[in-house]
Structure 1
Amino acid sequence: MMIFRLTLAFLTLWLWLPTAHATDIQVRTDRNPVAINESFKLTFTADGKPDDEPDFSPLEQQFDIISQQHGSSTSWVNGKSSRTQQWVLRVMAKAEGNILIPPIAFGSDSSPPSAIQVVEQAQATGNRDEIFLRVEASPEQPWVQSQVLYTLKLFRRIQITQASLDEPDVKDAIVERLGEDSTYMTQVDGIDYWVTERKYAIFPQQAGIVSIAPLTLTAEVITDHQPRFNGFFSRQNTETRRVQSQALTLTVKPIPEVFKAPHWLSATSLQLTERWSTQVMEVKVGEPLTRTLSLSAKGASVGQLPELVGQTRIDGLKTYPDQPVLREDQQPDGLIARREEKLAYIASHPGHYTLPELAIPWFNTQTQRVEIASIPAVTITVLPAAAAPTSAPVVTEPTQIQTGLRDNADARLWQGVSALLAAGWMVTLIVGGWCKRRMVAAPAPQGVALPQPGFQAHALQQACQRNDGQAAKLALLAWGKQTYGTHSLSELAAHCDDPLSGHIETLNRALYAPEDGNEWNGDGLWLAFKAQPVLSRPRNLGEDDGLEPLFRL
């Protein structure tokens, strides 16, 4: 009996051990850096159930804890449940500097340490208004097509019931909003204010002086007066306030002379990686070998990332590229553009095939230097295909002769089925070709290309007049993204009719495969764009004609 109990206890412990593991706990802030006397959100996220409730007392040495909230959510994926818990604290730093966020114990589990930069309080402006706007841009002297962080801050010490805000109006620039608004508390001239902060990424497309027009906020605020009516129909009195930010000016610098590459690419950081379908670079004739190239650039848009497929072709290997995957991640400190391309290589003859080095020059806007991201050359060994084994002659028995007869009958049956399928396939081709000719012969619906928000036709016109292929590409990508949801010139060309489709393909080839040193001419592209009969993108019923509200109640 004692042996049975010990065995049962050992099995119970053995079954429990694989499931006992530390819960992963992450910590993040809603922005970094922050000013002294400004509150910010500190969020702890646990994937699962921690060992115990958190002990936030270590934070009190460097921070004042203003409030804290706790919530959890459960999801089911492929029949498995997962639970996520969050603790959201609103805190305020007690001192300036690089402040350590200490590990927080959740019983035996713990969050990793982190840090936040606390800077000096903004200079007092003497502004004691109940509501006002501030804007700032960084850097104020960017390089052309480089990212500018544009930050809007709404300061208020009154209650707002409804508000609408203009979007930044910047000529010859691409504007992208960065994530959701953040709200925190701060002091100006000793007065407490609630601050709502919104950020944008601006990419000026031309060198020179670029002006950012003032933004206007229209808000309904609650007054201190008594309600107009008493009883059931009484409501709070409100009044409309309108405030405006100051205008900003950027001095955009041209491409530096030290950058000699044909494709201008600027970013704060850039990473180029590759991944193969096998760790051993050895395959047999006819077997595919898949290569995945990934390019990510911080402080750039996807339209600025070069195509990679054209730089990796090699004679002797058949290359089958997949559609590129493009993505933009919106971070509080700017955009991160990502491009992923997959290629399958298949060799028809044995031997050694060397893929050349892949190099992408780019300009680091932080160090002000030209850098090169590269992947070294790699050699693929292709072996002969395995020969089919030759079977030895077999003496058949009488019973096996009957089996062979049945096999011949089955073969004739499948041959008949194959003939029927082939006939059906031919009929499908004939009908499909007839339908395709009818579709081609049908007149295309007439329409007018309506200007989409964020796309300015004069930017494309000026790029074509200057024969600036890079600027024309970015203008077309902005139009294609908002009109058709495309992310590359090849995708956009597929949505357009001739002659515009042909001119877009010509531009794409001129950018990435120049021939005989001939310069690209943009006159034909602009004429084809003006004559393009494209229907405007259908409008969603839920879209709002007015300005996007800053506060949603």
Structure 2
Amino acid sequence: MNTIKQLLKPELEIRFIAYLVFFLLLLLIFAPQSTFAADINVSVDRNPVSLDESFQIIFTATESPDDDPDFSPLEQDFTILSQSNSSRSSWINGKASKTIQWTLNVMAKQAGSLIIPPVKFGNDVSQSSTIMVTKGAPNKAVNTDEDLFMEVEATPENPYIQSQVFYTMRLYTKVDISQARLNEPELADAVIERLGEDSSYNTQVNGVNYSVTERKYAIFPQKSGKLTIKPLVLTAEVVTNNRPSFNGFFNSQMTKTKRVESKAITLDVKPAPVSFNGKHWLSAEQLVLKQEWSDDIQQMKVGEPLTRTLTLVANGTTVGQLPELNTTHTNDQLKAYPDQPVLKEQKKADGLLAFREEKIALIPSKSGSYTLSAIEIPWFNTKSQKMELARIPETTLTAVAVAGTQPAAIAPAVTSAAPSKIETGPVIKSEQQTNIWLWVSVFLAAGWLMTVIIFLTKRTATKPVIENNDSETSLKECIKNLKNACANNDAVATKNALLEWGRQKFNVSNLGAIAVFCDARLRDEILHLNQTLYGKQVGQWQGKKLFQAFTEHKAREKIAVTVDKSLEPLYRL
């Protein structure tokens, strides 16, 4: 009998598992479709666009939608020229991800603010979006008989110092190009960053069809005054219609070399406005300052860390212009341990996005309340042309003692309770020694005074001028050597140039000491160079960021001097 039960038991278990699997399958089959709806985003390759230009509408999904898309709602306001789709799968940190894209090349049928309507993918629906379509540009003063020509523009042409300038290059072609070389924009005393990938579209110029390749840069001038962006030069191999006189396999097409040049653009860079009263000049289109805490700030535990995260995100500026955030002073009862800041830059089509994050671990040594002062960052809004203030208000922390720990306040009580007689002996002895050291101090002071008098009488009047000129020349030579070393990504030569610059500028002889005198971005780059040279992990070092930070540091020093001078009359009585 027991044997029969033992045989039936596995059979019942198998049947139970089968019923369970069948029930789960029914749930999956009859589950509401909205639970598994694919999220389909829509975007455009640029905005705004001209009425006579084509552009791309891109639909992106992270999972397969219910069915193929129906793009017919788009035909009301747009002409679909072509379409394509692609998919990409990846496996990162044990997680699979999938991206599916549908790309439509379209042209608008009318000008104005047009709505890209939702598109159905079976039961799934994409989001809607808007795009601004401007009227076609008037006839351009160009020779449409040319196979290709290039135009450039800078916006704005009269920016403030260290503010973002959009520099756009457009190459118009109506012939095939086998290969081409284009130089990068050049501007002395400026930081230049390329924004995103090139975009391609079709347009009409004076009634002639052209294919356009557009490239964007962000330029941040580092000094005020007239600055000229040199012309861009394109050298292209243009495919001709002529065929070789013999039918050769390797000579199926002929090319000719063509060279085109853009115009030069002059920027009229304005200095920081006199009304700006911040310590560090900072201009941006948008700026956000925030803080986060790892736990409840009203229930800090004595002896345990609480992490404060400060984040500054700015649109239209470089990460080197973002100031240091953690300026709060703590005491022995509240210790602060900051981490290395996290610095990031995102180069988007609509400008440069700078990100700075600082994490600070705070550890209280006794219970009670602690007040952190407010953090204020004045900045200049380049859109509204007004000064604004990003602010984190004063923050109060409350620390509570953990059960079983001894309050730190006992230590001072023991010291104050010590008998006063123990201090009597040493006090009398110090009074006897004071007279001896007093005479020694008087003697040394007299000797030092005589030395100064002799030095001043023997010094010539022209010597300081010569030394200053030599010093300025030598500093310029150091900066030139630093620029060349960074351009060649030579870490050792960069270190030597920095050491010579630091020796003359600050009278220090190591990278760590030089970093102390620099602003946050340059200090971080110098410490990164030091870690590359002497750290355990040896990697390829790139010098572009260090010299960019160095250039911004020099510009910020000049701006600070200018601002101080301009603000000086405000404090006079």
Q: TM-score, normalised by structure 1?
A: 0.71
Q: Tell whether the 8 Å contact from 2:378 to 2:390 is kept in structure 1 after alignment.
A: yes
- The alignment status of 1:93 with 2:108, answered yes or no, reads yes
After superposition, where does 1:66-105 map in structure 2 within 5 Å? 66-105=81-120
Task: Show CA shifts across 1:223-255 (max 9, x none).
Answer: 111124314343311000000001111111110
Of 312, 315, 326, which aligns to 2:328? 312
Distance 1:46 1:235 in 2: 42
What does residue 271 of structure 2 align with?
A: 254
Q: Tell whether the 8 Å contact from 2:183 to 2:233 is kept in structure 1 after alignment.
A: yes
The letter for the 1-side match of 2:48 is P
Distance 1:7 1:500 in 2: 71
Task: Show CA shifts across 1:1-46 (max 9, x none).
Answer: xxx9999876434456499322111111111111111111111110
Q: Tell whether the 8 Å contact from 2:297 to 2:398 is kept in structure 1 after alignment.
A: no
Distance 2:395 2:213 in 1: 51
The letter for the 2-side match of 1:163 is A
Moved more, 94-103 or 8-17: 8-17
What does residue 225 of structure 1 align with?
A: 242
Q: Which runs of 5+ in 2 are unaligned?
A: 1-16, 407-468, 473-477, 524-532, 543-573
Distance 1:63 1:281 in 2: 57
Task: Show CA shifts across 1:127-148 (max 9, x none).
Answer: 2111000000001110011000
What does residue 188 of structure 2 align with?
A: 171
After superposition, where does 1:144-223 map in structure 2 within 5 Å? 144-223=161-240
CA apart distance, 1:158: 0.4
What does residue 565 of structure 2 align with?
A: none
Distance 1:279 1:15 in 2: 41
Of 15, 25, 35, which aligns to 1:12? 25
Distance 2:26 2:375 in 1: 53
What does residue 106 of structure 1 align with?
A: 121
Percent identity between matched residues is 49
CA apart distance, 1:347: 0.7
What does residue 5 of structure 2 align with?
A: none
SS in 1 for 2:198: strand
CA apart distance, 1:483: 4.3
Moved more, 499-508 or 277-286: 499-508
Distance 1:320 1:483 in 2: 33
Distance 1:156 1:338 in 2: 38
Moved more, 11-20 or 337-346: 11-20
The letter for the 1-side match of 2:329 is R
The letter for the 2-side match of 1:156 is T
Q: 1:325 to 1:7 in 2, by over 3 A?
A: closer
The letter for the 2-side match of 1:342 is K
Q: TM-score, normalised by structure 2?
A: 0.69
Task: Show CA shifts across 1:315-355 (max 9, x none).
Answer: 23111111111111111111001111111101111111111
SS in 2 for 1:12: helix
RMSD: 3.6
Of 292, 301, 313, which aligns to 2:309? 292
SS in 1 for 2:171: strand
Q: 1:107 to 1:374 in 2, by over 3 A?
A: same
Q: 1:500 to 1:284 in 2, by over 3 A?
A: closer
Distance 2:102 2:229 in 1: 39
Q: Tell whether the 8 Å contact from 1:209 to 1:251 is kept in structure 2 after alignment.
A: yes
CA apart distance, 1:477: 11
Distance 2:164 2:193 in 1: 10
Q: Tell whether the 8 Å contact from 2:114 to 2:132 is kept in structure 1 after alignment.
A: yes
Q: 1:279 to 1:285 in 2, by over 3 A?
A: closer
The letter for the 1-side match of 2:57 is L
Q: Tell whether the 8 Å contact from 1:144 to 1:254 is kept in structure 2 after alignment.
A: yes
Structure possessing the higher radius of gyration over alpha carbons: 2
SS in 1 for 2:175: coil
CA apart distance, 1:109: 1.5
Distance 1:264 1:504 in 2: 20
Of 28, 41, 50, which aligns to 2:65? 50
What does residue 131 of structure 2 align with?
A: 116
Distance 2:395 2:336 in 1: 15
Q: Tell whether the 8 Å contact from 1:214 to 1:245 is kept in structure 2 after alignment.
A: yes
Q: 1:480 to 1:356 in 2, by over 3 A?
A: farther
Choose between structure 1 and 2: higher helix proportion. Answer: 2
CA apart distance, 1:207: 0.8
SS in 2 for 1:23: coil
Q: Tell whether the 8 Å contact from 1:144 to 1:255 is kept in structure 2 after alignment.
A: yes
What does residue 149 of structure 2 align with?
A: 132
Task: Show CA shifts across 1:525-550 (max 9, x none).
Answer: xxxxxxxx99xx9799xxxxxxxxxx
Q: Tell whether the 8 Å contact from 1:303 to 1:477 is kept in structure 2 after alignment.
A: no
Distance 1:359 1:484 in 2: 38
| Alignment coverage as a number of residue pairs | 430
Q: Tell whether the 8 Å contact from 1:322 to 1:341 is kept in structure 2 after alignment.
A: yes
Moved more, 212-221 or 121-130: 121-130
CA apart distance, 1:198: 0.4
Moved more, 20-29 or 82-91: 20-29
Distance 2:378 2:398 in 1: 29
What does residue 234 of structure 1 align with?
A: 251
What does residue 506 of structure 1 align with?
A: 517
CA apart distance, 1:84: 1.5
Q: Tell whether the 8 Å contact from 2:243 to 2:252 is kept in structure 1 after alignment.
A: no
Q: 1:481 to 1:12 in 2, by over 3 A?
A: farther
Q: Which runs of 5+ in 1 are unaligned?
A: 390-461, 466-471, 513-532, 541-553
Instruction: Spell out structure 1 runs of 4+ moving beyond 6 A.
Output: 4-9, 475-482, 537-540
